[in-house]
A and B are shown apart, each in its own frame.
Chain A
Amino acid sequence: MTRRIRQIRDAVHGVYALASKTSNTAITVNGHIINWQIEVHDPHGLIDVAGANPSRFVIPSGWSLVELIALAFVTNQSASMAFTVEWLQNGAATNPRTLTREATAPLTTGGQAGQWVHSAPIGVVPGDYFQVRLGGAGTALLRGETNPSWSNWAAVRRLG
């Protein structure tokens, strides 16, 4: 592959931020906003897990269009519930909203639920911030582990 083609490929597909969790967190499910614990890939500085707002992906200068992807995974539920995951833009539900809801409600007490959410392209301006919020009932363990299939993660990818 020529260097030029590689540059183009990286510019098209390689501009994104990905954060994850590394340890379990006991949470009250409904309304919980996930705080990320590790910047898996963040060369453009969208997220600062050691800062004051470890839940936020902040859009940097020059970005105008993004797509959002997240996987939320909980276990040890204390109550049956319908489990929901959604992206917030500047603290509010995005438009078009990207909420998903586990359909096998009510999920049983003590069970586990994994749910992913994938947005349509969303227009942004620098300084916009995105967070992942959960919905449901009771308490649960929000998973974060070295095994990525058991971890919560979220990504913001630049489209334009």
Chain B
Amino acid sequence: MIRDIADIRDKIHAQYALATLDTNVAITVSLHNISWDVEQKDDDGLIDVAGANPHRFTIPASWIPAGETEVLVEMVAQVHLTAFTPAGAFSVNWFVNGSVIEGRGFTREATVPIGGEVVQTAFSGPSLVEAGDILTVVLGGPGATGTLQGAATGSSTWAMVRRLG
């Protein structure tokens, strides 16, 4: 392979931010924003886990191509929840600026049993965003409680925002 083409590939795929939990957190599931503990990779400063808003991925101006106002990204999140009670539907959603992305970034699990355990992935598909847009992972459920899992070896609750454009 020609060296500069390999360099292009590496640069394209290297632009992402990945955050994880490293503690278990007891939560009320309904409309819960996940706050992240660890910036596994965040070269462009999308998330600040030590700041006032550790639940936010913020699109940096440096991601916007010259002469344009938007950039194409994709978001993936995996959520590991235990002790989910009472029974009901469970959903994992990517929100942009506080609203769900219509038709995307949403998965829904049904009939999780009392005391149940679930690992669920939400994938946005390619999405156009602007500098300053705020991306968050929001859980939905029928007012249930549960425990977000982060303490196991290698967090099983994580989220990633990757630049595509």
Residues of A within 8 A of B (CB): 7-8, 11-12, 15, 65, 82, 84, 93-101, 103-106, 116-118, 120-121, 158-160
Contact = CB atoms under 8 A, between A and B. Distances in A.
Contacts of B110: 103-104
B160 A121 contact: yes
Interface string B65-77: 0000000000010
A158 B162 CA distance: 15
A116 B120 CA distance: 10
B89 to A, nearest CB: 9
A96 B90 contact: no
A103 B109 contact: yes
Contact of A97 (B8, B118, B154): B154
Contacts of A12: 8-9, 12-13
B119 A101 contact: yes
Contact of A100 (B13, B120, B158): B120
Given A104-B109, A118-B76, A93 B153 contact: yes
Contact of B117 (A8, A82, A93, A159): A82
Contact of B152 (A97, A103, A104, A116): A97
Nearest to A84: B119
A14 to B, nearest CB: 10
Contacts of B52: none
Interface in B1-34: 1-2, 5-6, 8-10, 12-14, 16, 18, 20
6 interchain residue pairs of minimum CB distance: A95-B154, A159-B13, A103-B109, A103-B118, A101-B119, A97-B156
Given A12-B8, A120-B40, 10 more contacts: A8-B9, A11-B9, A12-B9, A65-B14, A93-B153, A97-B152, A99-B156, A100-B121, A103-B112, A104-B111
Contact of B5 (A11, A93, A103, A117): A11
B5 A100 contact: no
A96 B5 contact: no
B96 to A, nearest CB: 20
29 contacts: A8-B5, A8-B8, A11-B1, A11-B5, A12-B8, A12-B9, A12-B12, A12-B13, A15-B9, A65-B13, A94-B154, A95-B153, A96-B40, A96-B154, A97-B152, A100-B78, A100-B119, A101-B80, A103-B110, A103-B111, A103-B116, A103-B120, A104-B111, A105-B117, A118-B121, A120-B18, A121-B41, A159-B13, A160-B13
